[in-house]
Chain A
Amino acid sequence: MSALAQSAPPSHRDPAPTYRRPLWPRVQRRITPYLYLAPTVLLLVVLMLLPIAMVIGYSFQDNVITNPNPVFVGLDNYVKVVTDPVFFTAVKNTAYFTGVSVAAHMVLGLTFAMMLNSPLLKNRTKALFRVVYVLPWLFTVAIIAVLWRMLLNPNGVVNYLLHTLGLIHQNVEWLASPATALHAVTFINIWAGYPFFMVSLLAGLQGIPKDLYEAATVDGANAVQKFRNVTLPQLRPIIISMALLDVIWTTQQFALIWMTTGGGPINVTEMLSTYTYKLAFSSYKFSLASTSAVIVLLLSMVLAFLYVRHQRSRD
């Protein structure tokens, strides 16, 4: 916001009639990038920054929404949230859930994208597989949750198949057992999320100039070397951008967890998102919920900052 406020004025001070003066091209060059960004900034500032500012405001008041006259309480809410042992459980679970999900998304996405891009197969075969591989992406979260609840039910298909294959001898309560629930939820999230990586990487693979591979072949590189020295470096910017975004999104994954386990059994799948939701809509502590949200925001901003700095150092 401040960026706009401080750099836009030249255009106001130099109204259109003056544009024949030699000053104009320089000014024009200065303001052009802001004009390109104007629609974006306008949307984000009006529709996102305002509500975010309100949430930040909530986090410093004693209780909002349910209380008509909230009082400023400084950092009290932050102290309360940070000292809540459940908050730490939530952070720990979120870290596991996010870490494993993002890593798996990346590995699966890249593997599948490479396989689907192989020149060894006919285009039609690849087209068929591409559609199959993108399937998990096509469904709304509610259905994914319901589907996997059915599949992972103790009397469900997964247990039946494992039983038939002789891999288990007793039904496993995948989602209902404290020992397996977190892994099961993470697995569902991996299944639901890898196509996003795959599609983006598939597109990225098209952008790699063929002569790079040809040059590597001339140098006698084998497939692994080509992958390490050509493919990976070329895809790196895309991979890093997507990893950053995926981390931010996975941290916020709410519906999937809520509709499969509700943060349970006990609290083994309690995440920052379910913790925040319960504060807001189950306990009606909107200020504490906002506080927890602001903490997530701060953590993500650190990530965003590191990302931007990394982008800069690359240039």
Chain B
Amino acid sequence: MNLSARRRRQTAAQKALLLVGLTVGGLFAGLPVLWMASNSFKKNTEIFALPPKLITSGFSFDAYTSILTDPTKVRFFINSYVVALSVTALTLVVAILAAYAFSRYEFPFKNALNVLVISVQAVPPITLLIPYFGLVVALKMYNTYQGLILTYMVFTLPYAIIMMTGYFNTLPRELDEAVKVDGAGAFQALWRVLVPIAVPGIVSVGIYTFMIAWNEYLFALTLTKTEDMRTVPIGIQLLMGQHSYEWSEMMAMSILGCIPVMLLFLFFQRYFIGGMTAGAVKI
């Protein structure tokens, strides 16, 4: 009795401590973004006024309406979605296949291939820009979705493969062997058993892939030229003029860009919540 009361008190104290910690961390993460959101409703001068205010007399949705009523800018968003979603889907499929090989097979040149996968991303992109651009033009992928999608796949594959290999490695081999004994092939073992169990890993790799494709700027700019192919990061940079910035519109555009991503994250995060998959991993 006494003991359980003490434990309950202890738990309550721990919970309070945890909430304080989470709030402090939340402020660190969220305050700058809150400031950004607040600036998107201000007039340009108010952004630099002292003392700073969260809500000002010039509060308006002008920045948002001017973006949402401009078909060119809406097109930037559509392009970003097309590219980022395709990259995510394709990267996941290709990476799962590769990770399965790295995780479940021994074969000659495995290490060489592994080093290849890791080190292709080690060249500063800025120096790759010119030769890469030449290649894309030669492959006739300049100013196309394919060009951007395949480019981002190259950027995201190494991480995706390494992480997926890691997740597969944590899953016991007995799992797929059991399926194989039942008469299924390696391929089925992968798709029917490993992939469903590895969903948390797949979701986190998917989110990562999406973010990279969504936010990349340099190659998006170089590999496209017409306005109907530009993505959101370029749209944001277009607001940074030679002589002045459209501060509030820039902020509004990035807020608009992050809302759907946030919703996606909210939706998929149930895969992170404890208990759902942990049971399945036990063997």
Which A positions have Cβ atoms within 8 angstroms of B?
1-3, 6-7, 30, 32-34, 36-37, 39-41, 43-44, 47-52, 54-55, 58, 65, 108, 111-112, 115-121, 123, 126-127, 129-143, 146-148, 150-151, 153, 155-157, 160, 191, 195-196, 199-200, 202-211, 234, 237-238, 241-242, 244-245, 248-249, 252, 254-255, 272-273, 276-277, 280-281, 286, 289-290, 292-294, 296-297, 299-301, 304-305, 307-309, 311-312
State whether B105 touches A32 (Cβ < 8 A).
yes
Chain A residues lying within 8 Å of B18, measured Cβ to Cβ, are 115, 118, 120-121
> Cα distance A44–B151 when bound, in Å?
10
Q: Does B137 sit within 8 A of A, measured CB to CB?
A: no
For A54, give its contact among B98, B131, B207, B215 (CB under 8 Å). B131
For A142, give its contact among B11, B217, B262 (CB under 8 Å). B217
State whether B101 touches A304 (Cβ < 8 A).
no
> Cα distance A48–B130 when bound, in Å?
12
For A199, give its contact among B110, B121, B207 (CB under 8 Å). B207
Chain A residues lying within 8 Å of B132, measured Cβ to Cβ, are 47, 51
State whether A196 touches B232 (Cβ < 8 A).
no
Q: Does B51 sit within 8 A of A, measured CB to CB?
A: yes
Chain A residues lying within 8 Å of B112, measured Cβ to Cβ, are 2-3
> Cα distance A119–B265 when bound, in Å?
20
> Cα distance A38–B39 when bound, in Å?
48
For A119, give its contact among B21, B258, B274 (CB under 8 Å). B274
Report the interface size class on chain B: 35 or more
Chain A residues lying within 8 Å of B151, measured Cβ to Cβ, are 47
Q: Does B59 sit within 8 A of A, measured CB to CB?
A: no
> Cα distance A128–B233 when bound, in Å?
27
Residue of B nearest to A247 (CB): B122
For B94, give its contact among A39, A142, A200, A276 (CB under 8 Å). A39
Chain A residues lying within 8 Å of B273, measured Cβ to Cβ, are 123, 126-127, 206
Which B positions have Cβ atoms within 8 angstroms of A?
11, 14-15, 18-19, 21-22, 25-26, 28-30, 32-33, 35-36, 39, 47-48, 50-52, 94-95, 97-98, 100-102, 105, 107-128, 130-132, 135, 150-151, 153-154, 157-159, 161-163, 166-167, 169-170, 186, 200-201, 203-204, 207-208, 211, 214-218, 232-233, 236-237, 240, 245, 247, 250-251, 254, 257-258, 261-262, 265-266, 269, 271-274, 276-279, 281-282
Main secondary structure of the interface of B (DSSP, over half): helix
State whether A133 touches B236 (Cβ < 8 A).
no
State whether B109 touches A136 (Cβ < 8 A).
no
Chain A residues lying within 8 Å of B114, measured Cβ to Cβ, are 304, 308, 311
> Cα distance A152–B100 when bound, in Å?
46
Q: How far is the CB of B49 from chain A (nearest CB, A)?
A: 9
For A129, give its contact among B22, B33, B39, B215 (CB under 8 Å). B22
State whether A245 touches B29 (Cβ < 8 A).
no
State whether A245 touches B158 (Cβ < 8 A).
yes
Chain B residues lying within 8 Å of A134, measured Cβ to Cβ, are 262, 265
State whether B48 touches A51 (Cβ < 8 A).
no
For A48, give its contact among B50, B120, B127, B279 (CB under 8 Å). B120
State whether B119 touches A132 (Cβ < 8 A).
no
Q: How far is the CB of B57 from chain A (nearest CB, A)?
A: 18
State whether A39 touches B282 (Cβ < 8 A).
no
State whether B277 touches A206 (Cβ < 8 A).
yes
Q: How far is the CB of A286 from chain B (nearest CB, A)?
A: 7
State whether A37 touches B126 (Cβ < 8 A).
no
State whether A3 touches B127 (Cβ < 8 A).
no
State whether B215 touches A141 (Cβ < 8 A).
yes
With A245-B159, A293-B123 already in contact, the answer to whether A39 and B97 are too (CB < 8 A) is yes
With A49-B120, A140-B232 already in contact, the answer to whether A199 and B204 are too (CB < 8 A) is yes
For A135, give its contact among B33, B47, B277 (CB under 8 Å). B33
State whether B274 touches A40 (Cβ < 8 A).
no
With A3-B109, A191-B28 already in contact, the answer to whether A203 and B204 are too (CB < 8 A) is yes
> Cα distance A280–B131 when bound, in Å?
13
State whether A143 touches B254 (Cβ < 8 A).
yes
State whether A40 touches B261 (Cβ < 8 A).
no
5 more A-B residue pairs beyond the given contacts A138-B211, A210-B282, A301-B115, with a C-beta to C-beta distance below 8 A: A34-B101, A112-B25, A150-B48, A205-B274, A307-B118
For B135, give its contact among A33, A47, A131, A208 (CB under 8 Å). A47
With A115-B22, A296-B122 already in contact, the answer to whether A135 and B282 are too (CB < 8 A) is no
Chain A residues lying within 8 Å of B33, measured Cβ to Cβ, are 135-136, 139
